Structure 1
Amino acid sequence: MNTMPPVASLSTTGGDYLLSEPDFSSSVSIAKRDTSINVNLIEEYNSEFITKNKGDSYERQYASIYFMRLALLKPRVCQSAQDAWGDMIVAGQKVQYAPRALDISPGKLCYIVGTIYLEITSKPNILEEVTNEFWTDVPDTHTKFTDRQHDEVVIEDESGRVTLTGPALSKYLDLLITGCVVGVLGSETAEGQFEAMQLVFPEMAEQKAIAPNYVEKKYLALLSGLDISGDEHEGIEINLLKEFLMGEMDSIDNTDGTNIVHAIFAGNTFAEVNASSLSGQEDPKRRFQTSEPSKPVEAVDKMLTQLALSMPIDIMSGPTDPTTITLPQQPLHPAQFLRSRALIPSAIRPVTNPCWWDIGGVRILGVGGQTIDDIYKYAAGTDRISMMEHTLRWQHIAPTAPDTLWSFPFQDNDPFVIRETPHVYFAGNQPEFGTSLYSGANGQLIRIITVPKFSETGQIVLLDLSSLECSVISFKAGV
């Protein structure tokens, strides 16, 4: 595990930072924090998200990641299928397992295990996007492309693929998305399709015992989508947030900022940069918003320097941040932070997206939001909390990658497979705050949180590390 040391006792940085060592000699008055809680990165999982030593080649095919996903999840699905149907007899027939999708026979009751693929007629075409020069655009997260009346559900394995059909399939549509691995009980029809009767999933992985038992309230702050631009007219909410986190503001909703022991910036900390400012030509097709590319970096750098004097911070990459856009997104490079890089990694720690933490015995899994946004576009339902619950049952963070979600072409592993059920699971940059306490069949209990975009809602989330209760704090005027 990578343990974050206590917050550095620093005050200010020198103006000529690139030419001289920063001046940390003077002291400032900062709020007292409890630094006794260990904030660890779980390197067992996070090391798999680092692509630096994996060849960095995008010339390879993506078939390997699907093969590895099926290889990792198939035994878990087979176990679920065996538990559900192993002793089942229907109309005098004992249910049999067909190891290959092409081994099914007409009229013979059996179950198969494979990867779901949704043949969606309205799915965007990446070739058309590139042709139209929209390839840098982040798709609208509120758009739905699915139409279950016309979409085709297919299951495939190493041997081939077969179309799923039957009225029983309709009750599972919310649980089906491209890339998830499932088991299907049914029989082949005369048309060569597979009529589904029941479905099973890997279900949730094992969960470690939870450890914390604090007498006083200790909070983890979760914030995302700050979209800091550096403009002189930056919203007052950012300044209020900074004062609250530094303990300079009176309590809000009976919550004192000094009780916050750690903060996670869950992606999109930087505002989007106007691409036309880099080329000198206006392009109305571009999505970027800020005209001067250096302003967001300078503003974020300054804010992190101030906040890090008060509490340790982890900053996760997001789709608008200056790092790789493909998942897993790599940590922000320290060279971008001229003021605060002396505090890396003692008080500021850039991390991958996704990322795993162990904070005082609480195991936490966080994503920047792209995974849930992409599932939303192609899933039948609209409840994002339910979609996060489904990813736990699928044992996969990003099933739609690489089909509709850009990802690194891993060859010998699928790092997005969930090998352990976390105690807390959050997704950043969501339209609104939401939470649930989700329970698994084997006693797992997970606090699920959608962290709202601060730039749109003015809200952050505080998680009580002892009770795992969470609340939303608003800095928007009139809210």
Structure 2
Amino acid sequence: MSDILAQIIRETVAKGYQIEPKAFDLLRKIAESVDLAGLINEVIKQKSNDRTIREEDIQRFLIKKERKESIEEIAREIEEPPNFKIVLNINKLKVLTGAVGYQRLFSSRYQKLLNLIKKRVDSSNLHTISEISSDRSIKVAGLVYSKNVRRGSATVVLEDETGKIEATAFDSSVVRSIQEIPLDSLVVATISSGKRNIFIIESINLPDVPEHIPNTSKRKIYAALTSDLHVGSKFFLKDAFQAFIKWLNRREDEVAARLRYLLICGDAIDGVGVYPNQDKELTISDVTKQITELTNLLEQIPSYIQIFICPGNHEPVRQAQPQPPISGSFAEPLTKLPNVHLLSNPAWLEVEGVKILMYHGRSLEDIVATTPGLSVERPALAMRSLLKARHLAPIYGRRTPILPAEEDLLVIEEIPDIFHSGHVHILDSERYRGCLLINTGTWQMQTSYQLNMGITPTPAILPIVDLSTLQVVTMDFSKQETKQQDLEQTHPE
């Protein structure tokens, strides 16, 4: 036994503690590599009425020490500056008025989606609607003006720049496809002439995305994806969000140590006057003060974490989509934080080489309401419908207001590696043709409106993406203890 070990044991016994033989053997083994005096002091601090130092007490200290050294090593490993690029942030948009504005908008939509389709090998021999004849099958691209699905058939009116045509499908697989197609979407349909001057739809398809290999980060970096904090609401789970902030600052595990990005996809605040009698459900009834409270929370997050915020339907911005970033006096508190970036809705980012599409998701309500088989319980499936349509808000005239702009910036022209959305307050994910689709839940308890609608939110569960693999884990901050879980195991196939 070394003199130092003997001295430490004498001092420990003098303080009224006993050391079990197994603990003594472990101390002797590690005496050369560990500060024994510091170890014993830390172990004693954790003791209450128990005056015996056991082997497991020593092992707990060693695990904690090893973890701390690992975290410090990770911090040194990723000291490089953040690597991100804001690809699309819509600050200015040429807005038109009246019918002319919407004509220009849908013309832009048609041309953009048609250009996407024409890049494909199977898009040859596309014709205009005016070229349809009664003597042969012909492939056309047109916007879905209307559709009527009946038992055993479905009738669709298609429109392009040359005219309209009404055609009917009788094949059951084609009828099912029509049921899933949102109104005002661009489709490619093969049409032939039938009896009694009826045109027959032989096949019909949305633009869709091809299979692709997603981009990934060269270094192991994590990004937390969230939305719908609703700061200012009496239902905002502030304690849970504070637990998230404390977890970030402690950096006691690898995920927290490697986390460098936080994406907030709309409804960061609850706003004022968004719905009837909202004032009865607010703790902060002033929008500026809500944003100040949000800023107070975000400034507690380590400054090396880059924070991106896009608006939703509760922020003080234009409600018609696309929406500009929070700006003016409302944005002033947030702009004082150097690591906060205010974005439009939608917005495109490249984070560590990974292409991310942020869209708050108001149109998900319209997709769910008009598509058989979809529900708010699986919002990622509604997101998949948007991706297939290559448009973030294809349906005009329902709950999602759309701006009559000269250019349709809601067309999904690029293929995202991650499609991030929120709005419905339910955590969900799906992988589709190489794209990770993730709806990021909420930090708000069930509201009276949700209770009446039978919607059960999934609050304070945070999805975190490893950008080097695009694998997702979740951290549950709704309880005292945080735990990690693979998001893809949280819903059945």
- Same fold by TM-score greater than 0.5: yes
CA RMSD of aligned residues (A): 3.4
Matched residue SS, 2:299:
helix
1:170 matched to which residue of 2?
Answer: 175
String of CA shifts for 1:153-185, please: whole Å, max 9, x gaps.
321112322233222232313541112211111
Q: Aligned to 2:291, what secondary structure does the other structure show?
A: helix
Q: Does residue 352 of the first structure (1) align with residue 333 of the second (2)?
A: no
Aligned residue for 2:231, secondary structure, equals: coil
Q: Residue in 2 aligned with 1:421?
A: 415
Q: 1:314 to 1:79 in 2, by over 3 A?
A: closer
Match of 1:377 in 2: 369
Which residue is 2:336 aligned to?
342
In the alignment, residue 298 of structure 2 is paired with which amino acid? L
| Separation (CA, whole Å) in 2 of partners of 1:67 and 1:449 | 30
Provide closer, same or farther for how the CA distance between residues 186 and 152 of structure 1 changes in structure 2, counting only shifts above 3 A.
closer
Cα distance in 2 between the residues matched to 1:321 and 1:72: 29
Q: Which residue of 1 aligns with 2:31?
A: none
Aligned counterpart for 1:36 among listed residues 80, 101, 110: 80
Residue in structure 2 matched with residue 442 of structure 1 by the alignment: none
Instruction: Encode CA deviations 1:137-168: one digit per residue, 9 max, x unaligned.
Output: xxxxxxxxx99899853211123222332222
Residue 248, structure 1, aligned to residue 250, structure 2: yes
- Does residue 292 (structure 1) correspond to residue 302 (structure 2)? The answer is no
Counterparts of 2:306 and 2:200 in 1: how far apart (Å)?
A: 54
Matched residue, 1:219: 222
1:184 corresponding residue in structure 2:
189
Matches of 1:211 and 1:275, distance apart in 2? 38
Which residue matches 2:122? 83
2:388 to 369, 390, 393: 393
Aligned partner of 1:210 among 208, 212, 215: 215
- Counterpart-to-counterpart distance in 2, 1:288 and 1:198: 52
Q: SS of 2:422's equivalent?
A: strand
Seen in structure 2, the aligned counterparts of structure 1 residues 199 and 210 have a Cα distance that, compared at 3 Å, is same
| Alpha-carbon shift at residue 340 of structure 1 (Å) | 4.1
Gaps of 5+ in 1: 1-30, 87-95, 121-145, 277-282, 440-444
Q: What is the identity, as a one-letter code, of the residue corresponding to 2:349?
A: W
Superposed displacement of residue 437, structure 1: 2.7
**1:299 Cα deviation from its structure 2 partner:** 1.2
3-state DSSP of counterpart to 1:62: helix
- Rg larger for: 2
Q: Deviations over 1:242-284 (max 9, x none)?
A: 2223x23755xxx6423210101111110132479xxxxxx65
The answer to whether the 8 Å contact 2:169/2:200 transfers is yes
Specify the code of the residue in structure 1 equivalent to 2:352.
G
- The sequence identity of aligned pairs, in percent, is 19
Cα distance in 2 for partners of 1:392, 1:429 equals 17
Counterpart of 1:422, as a letter, is P
Any idea what the Cα deviations from partners look like across 1:199-223, whole Å, max 9, x if unmatched? 2333326968725232xx4210011
* Partners of 1:376 and 1:148 in 2: CA distance: 21
**Which residue is equivalent to 1:239?**
242
User: What are the superposed Cα offsets for residues 341-369 of structure 1, whole Å, 9 maximum, x if unpaired?
Assistant: 322xx311111111111111111111111
1:186 alignment partner AA: I
- Distance in 2 between residues matched to 1:288 and 1:157, nearest whole Å: 48
Question: Per the alignment, do residues 181 and 310 of structure 1 end up closer, same or farther by CA in structure 2, a change over 3 Å counting?
Answer: same
Gap change, CA 1:114 and 1:204, over 3 Å in 2: same
Q: Which amino acid aligns with 2:113?
A: L
Matched with 1:27 is none
Whole-Å separation in 1 of the counterparts to 2:251 and 2:130: 65
- Going from structure 1 to structure 2, the CA distance change for 1:434 and 1:402 (only over 3 Å counts) comes to same
Structure 1 residues 105 and 269: CA distance shift in structure 2, 3 A: same
Please, which moves more after superposition, 350-359 or 383-392?
383-392
Aligned length: 387
Q: Which of residues 339, 351, 363 in structure 1 aligns to 2:355?
A: 363
Pairwise CA distance, 1:287? 8.8
Which secondary structure does the structure 2 equivalent of 1:243 belong to? helix
Offset of 1:416 from its aligned partner? 1.9
Amino acid at match of 1:476: S
Corresponding residue SS for 2:204? strand
Letter in 2 for 1:396: H
Q: Deviations over 1:225-256 (max 9, x none)?
A: 111117698542222222223x23755xxx64
By percentage of residues, which structure has more helix?
2
Q: What's 1:12 paired with?
A: none
463-472 vs 222-231, which moves further: 222-231
Distance 1:288 1:460, change over 3 A: farther
Higher relative contact order (CA 8 A, sep 6+): 1
Hey, what's the Cα distance between the residues in 2 that align with 1:197 and 1:287? 54
**Contact 1:432–1:451, Cα closer than 8 Å, also in 2:** yes
**Unaligned segments of structure 2, at least 5 residues:** 1-73, 445-456, 484-493
Matched, 1:475 2:448: no
Could you state the TM-score of these two structures normalised by the residue count of structure 2?
0.69
Kept in 2, the 8 Å contact 1:220–1:260? The answer is yes
Shift of 1:67: 0.9
- Greater Cα shift, 221-230 or 266-275: 266-275
